[in-house]
Structure 1
Amino acid sequence: MSGKLLSVNAYHYRRGGSDVAYFAHAEAMERCGWEPLFFSMKHPQNYEYAYDHLFAERVDYDHDTSVAEKFRDAARIVYSLDARKKLKKLLAQHDVQIAHIHNIYHHISPSILPLLTDRKIPVVMTAHDLKLLCPNYKMLNQLGVCQSCKGGRYWNTVRYKCIKSSLLGSLLIAFESAVHSIFQIYKDNVSKLVVPSEFYRGLFLEWGWPDDKLVYIPNAVKSRPPLAFADKNRYILYFGRLSEEKGLKTLIEASARSSTPVYIAGTGPQCAELHALSDQIRAPVRFLGRLEAEALERAVAGSCATVLPSEWFENAPLSILESYSYGRPVIGARIGGIPELINDGCTGYTFQPGDPVELAELLRQVFETPVSSLASMGGRGRHWAELRFNVNTYTEAMTSLYNEL
C-alpha cells in the first residue's frame, strides 16, 4: 500500500521533539513510496510549503491580543472551525490514503478528525506526550508528578492551576479536555494510536484506552559515523527544551556539588531562571543557546556523555537515541520511558529524578572515567540503537500498520 500520506502537526518547523518526529516520519515514509502532504498552522518560522496558504490561522498565546481575539482563540482550542474548513479545502485537491496526526492540541484542535472519518481516511496518531490523558500534557504540577485527573476528574486542573499557574487558563483547558472526553472525539476517530514507549502503552491502558487501539512502535534514529572523544576540556551535555519538567535545576545543583562542567544547549521558558541559579551557586555551567544540526554535532563531539534529568513522565526521548548514534553514553533519570532506553552500567547510568546528590556522583564518575571506557559504553549504545531503533525497522512497522487500515 502507498499513496498520499497526510501529516498533521501544530508547527511546520522544528520547534521541539514532536516537530522533529513529524518531519522525520514523513521523510522516512516518502522513501517507502508515500507521497507527503502536510497540514499545519500558519507561523512566521514555518518552512516554506506549496500549500501553506491552506494552513490553519495562527493561534498564539505568547503575544498580547485583543479581548475579541482571546475569545476567538479560546474557542479554537476546543474546536477550530477554521482548521476544519482549511483542511476540507486541502482534501478537495488531494486524494489522501492515510492521515498521520502528531501534535494538534490547542492550535489545530481535533475538529479535523471527524472530517477525516467522514471521508473514510484512516487516522493514525502518535502520542508524543500525555495530552490525551492529562489536560496539561505532562502529568506534573507544583506538587510533582500528578494523576489526579484520572477518570475524568478534570476539575483538579483548576484546583491546582496546572496551566501556567493561571486559574482562567486552567479552567479553559480543563473545559477543553472535558468536552473532548465526553464526546470521545479522539477515541472515536483515531483508528490506531502509536505509543513509542512501553511505559506510555501501560499508562494509556491504565487510563482506559482500549488495547486494540494501541500500537507500540519505538522511535527511530538515523545511523551516523561515531564522533571521536576530546582529550581535554571535556564536559557533560544537555540538549533540549529549557523548561521546568526537564529537571535542569537539579542538573545545575548537581554540577555545582560535583564541580563537573555541564553545557546546556537549548532555549525555553526557564532560561533566565536557570542562568540566575547557575550564577547564584557558582555552578560550572555554560549555556549554549539553541543549536542547529552542525553546531549541535560539534557540542556533542566535545562532550564525554549527555544527560537527561527529567522529572516528568518522558515518553521515548529522541535525545537519548541521538546521543547513542553519536557514540555517547547517557545519564538519565529513572522516570517514564527513559529507563527503557538506558541499559544501566552498559550504555549509560540512571538516577532517582530530582536527586542532585545522586546525580552529582554520576556526573563526577562519568567525567573521571577514561576515554577508552566511555568509548566502549558509547559504542554499545550505538550498536543497540542501530539494531533496535533503526529507520528500516520503524518504516516496516509503520507500513504494516498502514496496510491493516
Structure 2
Amino acid sequence: MRILSVHNYYKIRGGEDESCKSEKSLLREMGHLVDEYEKDNISIPSYRSWQLATQTIWSQESYQAVRQKLQHQPYDVVHVQNSFPLISPSVYYAAQAEGVPVIQTIRNYRLLCPNALFFRQGKVCEDCLNKAIPWPGIIHSCYRNNRLASGITASMISIHRLLKTWDRKVDKYIALTHFARNKLIQGGLPANKIIVKPNFVNPDPGVGHGKGQFALYVGRLSVEKGLDTLLSAWDKLQSPFPLRIVGDGPLSELVLDKIKESPHISWLGRKSIDEVHQLMGEASFLIFPSKWYETFGRVAIEAFAKGTPVIASQIGAIAELVEHKRTGLQFQPGDSLDLAEQVEWALSHPEELQQMRLEVRQEFEAKYTARANYQQLIEIYRMAANN
C-alpha cells in the first residue's frame, strides 16, 4: 500500500507531531511506502499577513503540489494529519480530483473552534460550537490572542463549512477517543465517517520499577494543562512528597516561584523521549491535571507502558483512558483540594497502587501497542479505499 502523509508541523514540536512520526515509522516498518507532503510553522514569519490569510483558507501551492504527486505515482490513500495553517483544506480537493480517498486524523478541535481547544480564560468554552460563523472566537481573539489571526481562522472554518468540505471531501475521520468522536458529531461532522483509533507507543519502552518515590508531571507548562492546579495541590498535601516537572511553557515563571517556596518540587525542563520514559518508569505515579477537552493523552499511555498509574482530571478524553482505582485515580478538573486528596490516597494505599501498576501495563498491551494499532489503521485505509 502506498500512502501520502500530509502534515503541517508546529513551530514547537509536541505530542501530536510525535504521534504522526510514530505512525509513519510503523507503516514503513510493515513494508508500506509512505511519501510525505509537509510544511513547518517555523516559516510563518516569511509570509505577509494577506498571504498567510489566503494560504490558511485555500493554498493553491499545496493543491497543485499534492495533485502533481498523485499524478506522478499511484497512491492508495492520502492521510492528512494536520493542514493548519499553511497547507489548508485544498489538499482534500486535490486528492478527490485524482480519485484518491482522504483520511483525516483529528488531533484537536480546529474544525469546530478557532483556538482548537474549546478553552478560554482558564475554563472550558463551547461558544463557537455549532455556529455557522464562529464569531465569539473572533471577538475574544481566541487564536494567539490576535483578532486578525482569529478572524482568518474563523473564516477558514466557516467557508469550508459552507462548501461542505468536511462532509464531502473527507472519506474517513480518525478520532482518538469516543469522547472526541462524540464532540465532533455534536459539532456537525458526519457520524458515519468518524472511526475511533487511539494513539500508540512504539517501540515498547518496557516496564519500570516505580521505586523512585516521586510524582511526575510531563507536558506543556500552561493553564489548559492544569499546571496551576497541580502546584496549588502540592501546597495542600498533609505530608510532603517530591514532585518532578518536565516541560516548558508560559507558566515557567510560576514554576520557578513555587520551587523557591517548596524544596519538594523540582523542574527538569525539556527532556528527550528516552529520558521521559526513564522518569516515568521510576515515578510512583504520573499526574495529568488537564482542564481542557484533551482529544487523547499520549503521556498517559506512555506511563501505562512503563507500568505507572495516572492521577487524572475527570474531563474529556483523559477521563476515558484512566479508570478510577483500576488504572489510576480521577479528580475534579481544576480542584486542587480533590487532587491533593487523591495523591494522599495513593500514598496511603501502597498495595492498591502496586496492583494498579499491573493493571496499567495490561491496559497498554491490550489497546496501545503498535501491532494492535497497525491492524486498526490498515482496516480504516481499506474501508476508505473500498468506498
TM-score by length of 1: 0.87
Comparing 264-273 and 348-357, the one that deviates more: 264-273
Alignment of 1:1-400 (within 5 A): 3-11=1-9, 15-42=13-40, 58-60=43-45, 69-142=48-121, 144-151=123-130, 152-222=132-202, 223-230=204-211, 234-258=213-237, 259-276=240-257, 278-279=258-259, 282=262, 284-370=264-350, 373-400=352-379
Report the Cα distance in structure 2 between the residues aligned to 1:224 and 1:99, rounded to whole angstroms. Answer: 30
Runs of 4+ deviating beyond 4 Å: none
Query: How many corresponding residue pairs?
Result: 380
User: Displacement of 1:144 after TM fit?
Assistant: 1.7
RMSD, aligned CA: 2.2
Report the Cα distance in structure 2 between the residues aligned to 1:339 and 1:12, rounded to whole angstroms. Answer: 26
Report the Cα distance in structure 1 between the residues aligned to 2:119 and 2:308, rounded to whole angstroms. Answer: 29
Structure 1 stretches of 5 or more lacking a match? 45-57
Aligned partner of residue 307 in structure 2, secondary structure: coil
User: Displacement of 1:334 after TM fit?
Assistant: 0.4
Report the Cα distance in structure 1 between the residues aligned to 2:63 and 2:252, rounded to whole angstroms. Answer: 36
For residues 32 and 279 of structure 1, do their structure 2 counterparts lie closer, same or farther at Cα, with a shift above 3 Å needed?
closer
For residues 165 and 59 of structure 1, do their structure 2 counterparts lie closer, same or farther at Cα, with a shift above 3 Å needed?
closer
Report the Cα distance in structure 2 between the residues aligned to 1:268 and 1:186, rounded to whole angstroms. Answer: 32
Report the Cα distance in structure 2 between the residues aligned to 1:134 and 1:42, rounded to whole angstroms. Answer: 22
Asked if the contact 1:255/1:261 (under 8 Å) is kept, the reply is no
Amino acid at match of 1:374: L
User: 1:107-152 deviations in whole A, cap 9, x for unaligned?
Assistant: 3211211001101111011111111111111011116211111222
Amino acid at match of 1:303: A
Asked if the contact 2:281/2:303 (under 8 Å) is kept, the reply is no
Asked if the contact 2:224/2:292 (under 8 Å) is kept, the reply is yes
Report the Cα distance in structure 1 between the residues aligned to 2:19 and 2:265, rounded to whole angstroms. Answer: 29
User: 1:35-90 deviations in whole A, cap 9, x for unaligned?
Assistant: 1111111477xxxxxxxxxxxxx324xxxx6xx72322222122222322333443
Comparing 141-150 and 344-353, the one that deviates more: 141-150
Equivalent residue number for residue 47 of structure 1: none
User: Displacement of 1:273 after TM fit?
Assistant: 4.1
Comparing 332-341 and 236-245, the one that deviates more: 236-245
Asked if the contact 1:328/1:374 (under 8 Å) is kept, the reply is no
User: Displacement of 1:369 after TM fit?
Assistant: 4.1
For residues 272 and 103 of structure 1, do their structure 2 counterparts lie closer, same or farther at Cα, with a shift above 3 Å needed?
farther
Asked if the contact 2:41/2:86 (under 8 Å) is kept, the reply is no
For residues 146 and 91 of structure 1, do their structure 2 counterparts lie closer, same or farther at Cα, with a shift above 3 Å needed?
same
Aligned partner of residue 245 in structure 1, secondary structure: coil
User: 1:283-311 deviations in whole A, cap 9, x for unaligned?
Assistant: 73211111112211222233111011000
Structure 2 stretches of 5 or more lacking a match? none
Report the Cα distance in structure 2 between the residues aligned to 1:349 and 1:364, rounded to whole angstroms. Answer: 11
Amino acid at match of 1:11: Y
